[in-house]
């Protein structure tokens, strides 16, 4: 989601967070126990059904319970051992052998084996949202309880990165005897925490998993993650120390805080304006490109994001190792060029509807509406609740929409793979050309070839314009200064098990 503002700051409509003191029955300050952490979230929780998770907040919560095979290293630049102790490809990158860490147990006490991993692979593959990331896994071969081979239908060097995704959490074989529906409501994982209770727009309470395989972790006994839609509360809760961590803090609130509370996270988030190409007017690429030139990016950044970020230079998230810039330059504010592209094109039969969630700053959509008006494109604003907004994306039921995307692993192919798996970032555009480029990337292990392919991907997305990037934004995470072990990745996720005071 995006949280940005323009002229009337006091009219900003944002989704922000407060943390309850449910665990200790008080709201008078940070938990009296150093073994409890309270996190505030600014997004609704998508639930534990792995393939249905859309938002970074959901990724962090889910992976604390349903841990993936591979962990991401510091600053999001490397992969590290976890449930998978090691892994290696064969000579032609068509088989990946994974060696599991010995002694890993699920929270129900049963040992995690290669059979559980094989079952999990099948769940990941069948998902309509993320299944494409694992489509090259043709079959699995169980060598022994701690060794499994992923047999690939084609060379695919990106699989380890995708095994670090939160949506690739390891689940027990046959859902531990539960129905799939029952399991997602009451998940059993090998992560650092177990679920005491959860709701999409309320408290999520996680308890320490005493059977967790990483010795000495987690560092705390309980994590409470709370949600509330009150933009004033986040600052009050942080200042009064009722909140240990606040995620996805909006720029206005961040500016009101002691800047020592703001975690250092590089610009990476890419808030986008998505075009539904099923709309007759937006199906014309020239219209989409014209909108790209119609937007005042400096105002969006300086006023909307209060300077927390950078002007976009690419269709892909920045600040990953080897990240690209569009070869011919990315879209910039150029009203004359926008009008030139629109010459000879009839106006839409009715105003375009710009849908956005209650978590998106009112001023951002106002900027977009005003900028479109300047080039003769009428647009109406439609604010909806988070559930309706999410459904509109999945169903393709919108004209224009606001959505933030980012990578979730160190691999450069991460973000474009997500674009493909979500029907060109929910634009409903054709995925065939981008899919070909992604397959070329996966087939080679040569770093220079990979870099060239990513550049081609960036240039293709810039020209095709299923969406335009509004800013290279910083996801703002605020935390109390006495916290230790909070390592926020560029995409704003972090592991709960390392946090302590």
Cβ(70)–Cβ(199) under 8 Å?
no
Q: Is the four-CA dihedral 428, 434, 436, 438 of positive or negative sign?
A: negative
Q: What is the pLDDT of residue 256?
A: 87
Residue 139 bridge partners (DSSP): 151
Q: Evaluate if pTM is beyond 0.75.
A: yes
> CA torsion sign, 455 to 457 to 461 to 464?
positive
Peptide bond into 218 cis (omega under 30): yes
Secondary structure element (H or E) that encloses residue 150, with its range: strand 147-152
Q: What are phi and psi of 149, to 5 degrees?
A: -110, 130
Name the helix (H) or strand (E) containing 8.
none
Q: Which domains does the chain have, with CATH numbers?
A: 9-64+191-265 (3.40.190.10), 67-185 (3.90.76.10), 270-473 (3.10.105.10)
Q: What is the mean pLDDT of residues 276-283?
A: 98
Q: What is the pLDDT at residue 73?
A: 85
Radius of gyration of the chain (CA): 22
* Model pLDDT, residue 227: 87
Residue 24 has pLDDT above 70, yes or no: no
Tally helices (H) and strands (E) across the chain: 15, 19
Rounded distance between C-alpha atoms, residue 198 and residue 204, angstroms: 4
Q: Are 498 and 212 in contact (CB under 8 A)?
A: no
Q: How many other C-beta atoms can be found within 10 angstroms of the C-beta atom of residue 426? A: 24
Tell me what pLDDT residue 33 has: 58
Dihedral sign for Cα atoms in the order 273, 279, 281, 282: positive
Q: Is the pLDDT of residue 193 over 80?
A: yes
- Average confidence (pLDDT) over 225-229: 83
Structure tokens that stand for 436 in this block: 């070909």
Tokens of 215: 């010795």
Tell me the three-class secondary structure of 232-244, residue by residue. Answer: CHHHHHHHCCCCC
38-45: average pLDDT: 88
User: If you search the block for the tokens 């998993």, which residue do you land on?
Assistant: 209
Quote the mean pLDDT of the chain. Answer: 89
Host H or E run for residue 286: helix 285-294
| Cβ atoms < 10 Å from Cβ of 298 | 13
The mean pLDDT value for 390-415 works out to 91
Q: With a cut of 90, say whether residue 306 has pLDDT above it.
A: no
- Per-residue pLDDT band at 400 (split at 50, 70, 90): very high
What pLDDT shows up at residue 176? Answer: 98
Percent of the chain with pLDDT over 70: 92
Buried-exposed string 303-341: b where 16+ CB fall within 10 A, e elsewhere: bbbbebbbbbbbbbbbbbeebbbbeeebbebeeebbeeb
**Cβ(468)–Cβ(292) below 8 Å:** yes
- Residue pair 275/282 in contact (Cβ under 8 Å)? The answer is yes
In this predicted model, what pLDDT tens digit does every residue of 56-94 receive, in sequence order? 889 999 999 999 999 998 777 889 999 999 999 999 999
Q: By the 8 A CB rule, do 264 and 16 touch?
A: no
Predicted confidence at residue 12, as pLDDT, reads: 33
Q: pLDDT digits over 233-261, tens only? A: 877 888 899 899 998 888 888 888 999 99
DSSP string computed for 413-478: THHHHHHHHTHHHHT----HHHHHHHHHHHH---HHHHHHHHHHHHHHHHHH-SEEE--EEPPP-E
Min mean pLDDT across 24-38, 114-128, 231-245, 357-371 is at 24-38
| CA gap 118, 149 in Å, rounded | 9
**If 0-12 CB within 10 Å is exposed, 13-18 middle and 19+ buried, where does residue 1 land?**
buried
Is residue 401 pLDDT above 90, yes or no? yes
What mean pLDDT do residues 193-222 have? 97
| 12-21, 97-106, 133-142, 184-193, range with the lowest pLDDT | 12-21
The answer to whether 130 and 165 have CB atoms below 8 angstroms apart is yes
**CB within 8 A of 44, min separation 6: which ones?**
55, 200, 201, 227, 386, 387, 390
> How far is residue 390's CA from residue 392's CA, in Å, rounded to a whole number?
5
Q: In what order do the strands lie in the sheet with 36-41?
A: 193-197, 204-208, 222-227, 36-41, 245-246, 478-479
- State yes or no: pLDDT of 3 exceeds 60: no
For the stretch 367-391, pLDDT in tens is: 999 999 999 999 999 999 988 998 9
Q: What is the dihedral of CA 176, 128, 493, 318, to 10 degrees?
A: 160
Residue 421: per-residue pLDDT? 85
| pLDDT band, very low/low/confident/very high, at 41 (cuts 50, 70, 90) | confident
What pLDDT does residue 20 have? 33
Average pLDDT of the residues in 276-294: 98
- SS3 (DSSP) at 402: strand
Whether the per-residue pLDDT at 231 is higher than 50: the answer is yes
Average pLDDT on 471-480 reads: 90
Helix, coil or strand: residue 2:
coil
Distance CA 20, CA 416 (A): 37
């Amino acid at each position: 989601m995006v949280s940005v503002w323009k002229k009337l700051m006091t009219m900003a409509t944002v989704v922000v967070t407060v943390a309850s003191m449910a665990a200790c029955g008080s709201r008078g300050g940070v938990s009296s126990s150093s073994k409890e952490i309270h996190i505030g979230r600014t997004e609704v929780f998508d639930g534990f059904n792995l393939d249905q998770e859309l938002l970074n907040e959901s990724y962090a919560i889910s992976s604390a319970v349903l841990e993936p095979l591979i962990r991401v290293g510091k600053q999001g630049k490397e992969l590290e051992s976890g449930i998978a102790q090691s892994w290696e490809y064969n000579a032609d990158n068509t088989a990946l052998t994974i060696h599991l860490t010995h002694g890993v147990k699920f929270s129900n006490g049963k040992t995690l084996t290669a059979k559980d991993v094989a079952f999990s692979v099948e769940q990941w593959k069948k998902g309509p949202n993320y299944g494409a990331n694992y489509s090259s896994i043709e079959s699995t071969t169980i060598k022994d309880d701690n060794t499994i081979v992923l047999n690939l239908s084609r060379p695919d060097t990106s699989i380890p990165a995708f095994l670090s995704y939160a949506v690739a959490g390891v689940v027990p074989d046959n859902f531990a005897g539960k129905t799939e529906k029952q399991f997602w409501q009451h998940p059993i994982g090998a992560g650092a925490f177990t679920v005491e209770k959860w709701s999409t727009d309320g408290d999520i309470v996680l308890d320490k998993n005493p059977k967790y395989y990483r010795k000495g972790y987690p560092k705390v006994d309980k994590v409470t993650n709370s949600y509330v839609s009150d933009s004033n509360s986040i600052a009050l809760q942080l200042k009064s120390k009722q909140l240990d961590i606040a995620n996805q803090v909006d720029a206005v609130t961040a500016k009101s805080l002691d800047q020592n509370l703001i975690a250092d996270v590089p610009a990476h988030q890419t808030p986008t304006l998505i075009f539904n190409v099923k709309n007759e007017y937006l199906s014309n690429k020239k219209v989409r490109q014209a909108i790209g030139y119609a937007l005042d990016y400096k105002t969006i950044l300086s006023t909307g994001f209060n300077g927390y970020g950078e002007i976009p230079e690419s269709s892909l998230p920045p600040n990953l190792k080897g990240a690209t810039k569009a070869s011919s330059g990315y879209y910039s504010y150029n009203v004359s060029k926008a009008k030139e592209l629109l010459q000879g094109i009839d106006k839409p039969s009715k105003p375009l509807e710009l849908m956005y969630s209650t978590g998106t700053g009112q001023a951002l959509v106002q900027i977009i509406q005003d900028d479109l008006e300047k080039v003769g494109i009428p647009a109406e604003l439609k604010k909806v609740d988070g559930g309706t907004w999410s459904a509109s994306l999945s169903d393709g039921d919108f004209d224009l929409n606001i959505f933030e995307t980012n990578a979730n692993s160190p691999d450069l192919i991460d973000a474009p793979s997500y674009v493909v798996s979500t029907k060109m970032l929910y634009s409903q555009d054709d995925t065939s050309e981008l899919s070909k480029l992604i397959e070329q990337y996966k087939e080679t292990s040569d770093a220079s070839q990979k870099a060239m392919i990513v550049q081609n991907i960036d240039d293709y997305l810039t020209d095709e314009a299923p969406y335009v990037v509004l800013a290279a934004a910083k996801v703002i995470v605020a935390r109390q200064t006495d916290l230790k072990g909070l390592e926020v990745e560029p995409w704003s996720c972090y592991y709960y098990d390392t946090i302590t005071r």
